[in-house]
Amino acid sequence: MMEWMLIGLFVFILCYLGWGVLYQFVFSVAGLFWKGKTLPPVFKQRKMAVFIPAYKEDNVIVKVAKDALEQDYPADRYEVFVIADSFQQTTLAALKQLPIHVVEVAFEQSTKSRALKATLAQLPKAVFDVMIILDADNIMAPDFLAKINGHFELGHRVVQGCRAAKNHNTPMAILDGLSEAINNHILCKGHAALGLSARLAGSGMAFDADLFHCTMPKVDAIGGFDKELELQLIGNGEQVFYAPEAVVYDEKVSKAAHFSQQRSRWIAAQFHYAKRFVPHAFRTFFVAGNIDYLNKAVQMLLPPRLITPGVLGIMAVLSMLLGQLSLAIAFFTFLLINISSFLLAMPAYAWRPPYINAFLQLPMIFVFALKSLLSIRKAKQQFIHTPHGETLNHTK
């Protein structure tokens, strides 16, 4: 009896991980066939608001704010808003010397969504055409706003720019940056190739101003603000478009402890929104045929990508030790498919140093990804802040 229960557990794990592997593989292949749109001539330079919500980011925020002012876009057609939560007075004083807006906020429980809503409440609705969301460590490429404007010229209302790593100072940062590139391929290019919405990544995002004003009051996420916003928008019939030309550089985690904290927050948010949105997405699909919304909601049920290959390998070995050769073959087959989806999605530069050397750290990444599961309960209840400003090698 115990043996059959154990086999049943193995089969359940195989089915759960297997569908996640196949889902990822389909979009990894699709991403190879994606072709971006040619941006049209620009007839209107839209007025843009660049929001930078920041919590205790004294190390980086002044430089980020200065860099945000260096855009190849008319200075009178965009304004920068730093939303300052729990900053030192010296940092606030330095920010107020810049030609930007400093919005000071304070909450009993700080979140990005609350910071943005507090700022929106102070703005007249008719001032801006487009609203940009950055993270406190983000550096926009000089033509970022111009490229975003080009996509809005195409009639898009929600646009995700291309997030790229700005630091390669540790093997952890290198692998985190590579993970970002794989996300761009699978979750942006792959989805767009099949006519579905790209992901919202939490920063480097652009929204029609009226749409953003209408949607943000519905969002009150502790973690995973971008996921709730994404599901709200797509559930209402909007589509997220990918703008690979609009590059924003994002600081990648350099330490294993920060990596584990960050993944805890992401996994907690993912399963929280699965519980909240999947039933509604199925009802909406059967009533209105919104497959884009269903796809995004079901995506929240996917097994954590960094844990899946390690678990598949372990389960293959355990199945062999238990004499379950068929199960071992099945686990090993899905492991090969899983690895193939990563290989297809990896950019060409990943086969050069220092990326190849960083691959030696993958077993450690798996361990810390497993460790992140232990902090999911904490991440559901409070925002876990990932500190920035510890990089040694920045790329712009």
Domain assignment present for 13: no
Which residue from 124, 126, 130 is spatially nearest to 42, judged by alpha carbons? 130
d(CA 382, CA 83) in angstroms, rounded, equals 20
Mean pLDDT of 276-301: 95
Residue 5: the pLDDT is 86
Segment 296-324 shows an average pLDDT of 92
Q: If phi over 0 gives left and psi between -120 and 50 gives alpha, with beta otherwise, what is residue 225? A: alpha
Domain count, the chain: 1
Per DSSP, the residues of 307-338 read THHHHHHHHHHHHHHTT-HHHHHHHHHHHHHH
Decide if pLDDT at 165 tops 70: yes
Task: Write down the pLDDT at residue 168.
Answer: 81
Cis peptide before 354 (omega within 30 of 0): yes
373 occurs within a structural domain = no
pLDDT digits (tens, 9 = 90+) for 371-382: 666 665 554 555
Q: What is the pLDDT of residues 254-280, one digit of tens each?
A: 665 556 566 666 677 787 888 999 999
**What average pLDDT does this structure show over 225-245?**
96
pLDDT at 373: 63
**Is residue 370 included in any domain, yes or no?**
no
Range of the domain at 86: 48-266
| pLDDT range class, residue 396, cuts 50, 70, 90 | very low
Compute the mean pLDDT over every residue in the chain, rounded to the nearest whole number.
89
> Which CATH number characterizes residue 108's domain?
3.90.550.10
Confidence check: pLDDT of 146 > 50: yes
Does residue 2 lie within any of the structural domains?
Answer: no
Q: What's the pLDDT at 366?
A: 72
Is there a domain that residue 29 lies in?
no
pLDDT of res. 389: 64
Query: 330 in a domain, yes or no?
Result: no
User: pLDDT band at 395, cuts 50/70/90?
Assistant: very low
* Cβ neighbours for 148, distance < 8 A, ≥ 6 positions apart: 48, 130, 132, 159, 161, 206, 243, 246
Q: Which residues pair with 242 in a beta bridge?
A: 160
216 inside domain = yes
Q: Averaged over 210-227, what is the pLDDT?
A: 90
Average pLDDT over residues 324-341: 97
Instruction: Report yes or no on 193 lying in a domain.
Output: yes
Decide if pLDDT at 337 tops 60: yes
Radius of gyration over every alpha carbon of the chain, rounded to an integer in angstroms = 21
